[in-house]
């Protein structure tokens, strides 16, 4: 599935900047490593494509052993179904409104299994109406909030009530529960209670789906879970290093950027700003890790400029030097560019269009 290019003999050093690059050996190693981690705990691996948004990488994940893929929005699912990457997809976002429900039905006719999630009755009734009109059966997981404070039913009892409604509504098939992330504080308590409650009520739970790259090292703590959805692991980033699930040598995505100014001895300005690196921080500080100068700090970003504090560095870059930056959050960087350049041994091997870029509906 690699897409070759007439630029494959170009050296990385000759690429114009800013450019988002992927170190292919690290990407391949990350895919194999996480597939092994998930498989060793007896769980199914269902990677999230929102990190890379590239069908060729999704195909690599499936070839490595993933049971299927996870999409966040229907637009992503459309791209990956068009590419024929996997016959089993899960869309982990409430489908609200007849327009989106109609798109879901269109897609479900083109793939072996297209499952969705729901955390309220309105979503379930809309899915049921659309499925009934097309003569389809839609697999549904109930989304649970175990402390992250986003979507999800708030208690195992509410999950059971919604599961029973899904089983009663025509066109729906209840298949289990999902949570994101595993690291939310009540995950183990929530799922343990849910398993007991569903068992006592005679409602099968064929799937208990967990998520998040930071929880990969603790999958054995959740023996009831049957599958795991992680995305960031394919590239890794500052947050994953901070979380302890990756090291700098596991970070496959680099933003190559040129030093365009040295206004003071302690300050460098680069040609990658918030339109490439983004200003996302979550639980880390500053705006990226400078590979060649690990003591440097990316302290500020405007749209086209990045500002690096060099005061802690013994060696410092000059105007015209190229540096590589590991972004705080690789997933949003993917959505900022039309293509990423795959590198191997310092040479361009391929260029991948980010096919699902901007697919937010």
Confidence of residue 8 (pLDDT cuts 50, 70, 90): very low
What's the whole-number average pLDDT of the chain?
96
pLDDT at 9: 81
pLDDT digits (tens, 9 = 90+) for 35-55: 999 999 999 999 999 999 999
pLDDT at 4: 52
Residue 1 has pLDDT above 50, yes or no: no
Q: For residue 155, what are its two tokens?
A: 């208690």
pLDDT digits (tens, 9 = 90+) for 93-103: 999 999 999 99
Q: Vertex 70, ends 214 and 160: CA angle to 5°?
A: 85
Nearest Cα to 118, choosing from 79, 175, 75, 199?
A: 175
What is the model's pTM? 0.96
Euclidean distance between CA atoms 98 and 254, whole angstroms: 40
Q: Determine the 3-state secondary structure of 200 from DSSP.
A: helix
Enumerate domains of the chain plus CATH numbers: 25-233 (3.20.20.10)
Contacts of 350 (CB under 8 A, 6+ apart): 2, 3, 4, 5, 8, 24, 341, 342
Euclidean distance between CA atoms 120 and 151, whole angstroms: 10
pLDDT digits (tens, 9 = 90+) for 284-319: 999 999 999 999 999 999 999 999 999 999 999 999
């Amino acid at each position: 599935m690699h897409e070759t290019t007439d630029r494959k003999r170009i050296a990385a050093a000759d690429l114009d900047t800013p450019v988002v690059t992927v170190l292919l050996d690290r990407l391949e190693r990350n895919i194999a490593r996480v597939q092994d981690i998930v498989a060793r705990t007896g769980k199914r691996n269902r990677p999230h494509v929102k990190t890379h948004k590239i069908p060729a990488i999704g195909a690599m994940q499936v070839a490595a052993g993933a049971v299927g893929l996870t999409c966040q929005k229907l637009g992503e699912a459309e791209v990956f179904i068009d590419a024929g990457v996997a016959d089993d997809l899960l869309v982990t976002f409430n489908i609200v409104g007849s327009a989106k429900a109609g798109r879901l039905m269109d897609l479900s006719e083109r793939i072996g299994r297209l499952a969705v999630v729901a955390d309220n009755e309105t979503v379930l009734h809309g899915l049921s109406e659309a499925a009934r009109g097309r003569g389809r059966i839609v697999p549904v997981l109930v989304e649970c909030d175990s402390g992250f404070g986003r979507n999800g039913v708030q208690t195992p009892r509410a999950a059971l009530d919604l599961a029973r409604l899904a089983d009663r509504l025509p066109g729906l098939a209840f298949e289990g529960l999902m949570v994101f992330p595993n690291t939310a504080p009540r995950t183990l308590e929530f799922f343990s209670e849910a398993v007991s409650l569903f068992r006592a009520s005679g409602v099968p739970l064929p799937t208990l789906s967990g998520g998040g790259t930071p929880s990969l090292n603790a999958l054995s703590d959740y023996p009831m879970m049957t599958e795991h959805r992680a995305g960031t692991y394919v590239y890794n980033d500052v947050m994953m290093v901070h979380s302890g699930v990756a090291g700098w040598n596991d970070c496959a995505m680099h933003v190559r950027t040129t030093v365009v100014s040295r206004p003071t001895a302690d300050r460098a300005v680069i040609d990658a700003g918030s339109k490439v690196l983004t200003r996302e921080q979550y639980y880390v500080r500053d705006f990226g890790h400078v590979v060649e100068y690990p003591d440097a700090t990316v302290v500020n970003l405007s749209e086209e400029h990045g500002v690096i504090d060099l005061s802690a560095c013994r060696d410092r870059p000059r105007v015209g030097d190229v540096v590589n930056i590991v972004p705080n959050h690789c997933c949003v960087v993917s959505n900022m560019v039309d293509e990423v350049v795959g590198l191997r041994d310092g040479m361009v091997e391929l260029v991948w269009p980010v096919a699902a870029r901007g697919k937010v509906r």
